[in-house]
Structure 1
Amino acid sequence: MDFVRVIKNSNDLEKFIDIPKGLKNRKVEVIILPYTDKEDVEQVEKKSLRGALSKYKNEVLRAQESDAWSKAVVDQYENR
């Protein structure tokens, strides 16, 4: 991101910016950053990861998912 940072006498800025009394006749730091309008941010296309891993799905294993935890517990603790 491009920006500008300068130290200026506040008297030089009075014709452009309303300077508070506490900053008059003092050196001030001026930082200029690009403005981002809320509308510009909303125009950015939102991307979704939904379906990104669909090429790895296995329907045979998916059918066994609902019983997988209970079977694993039985296998591990059945003979204890």
Structure 2
Amino acid sequence: MKFVRKVANSDILANVIDIPKELKGKKVEIIILPYEEQKKKIVRGALARYKNEEFQEKEDEAWANTVVEKYENS
């Protein structure tokens, strides 16, 4: 990837971008990189390696069991 890197006085950028007060009149490093669109990543199945089939059988009843445990003596 090609890029441009230059050290210059921040005053030359004043008409292009907002410069924070702390950087006005100081030397800054300017780095110009090409903009690349981010492609959407498909995450389907990304966590498959963490699945535990023993727990899958208990999933249907998990919510009901938790509610009973938490509130049965209320």
Normalization by structure 1: what TM-score? 0.47
Q: How many residues align?
A: 40
Amino acid at match of 2:31: I
Query: Which residue in the other structure is 2:33 paired with?
Result: 33
Identity of aligned residues (%): 55
Q: Secondary structure at the match of 1:36?
A: coil
| Matches of 2:31 and 2:12, distance apart in 1 | 15
Query: Which residue in the other structure is 2:14 paired with?
Result: 14
RMSD over equivalenced CA pairs, Å: 1.0
| Matches of 2:16 and 2:10, distance apart in 1 | 10
Gap regions ≥5 residues in structure 2:
41-74
| Matches of 1:10 and 1:4, distance apart in 2 | 16
| Matches of 2:2 and 2:25, distance apart in 1 | 29
Task: Detail structure 1 runs of 4+ shifted over 6 Å in the superposition.
Answer: none
How far apart are residue 8 of structure 1 and its match? 1.0
| Matches of 1:17 and 1:29, distance apart in 2 | 14
Is the radius of gyration larger for structure 1 or structure 2?
Answer: 1
| Matches of 1:12 and 1:32, distance apart in 2 | 15
Gap regions ≥5 residues in structure 1:
43-80
Cα displacement string for residues 12-44 of structure 1 (whole angstroms, at most 9, x for unaligned residues): 110001000000010000000111112xx34xx
Normalization by structure 2: what TM-score? 0.51
Structure with greater helix share of residues: 1
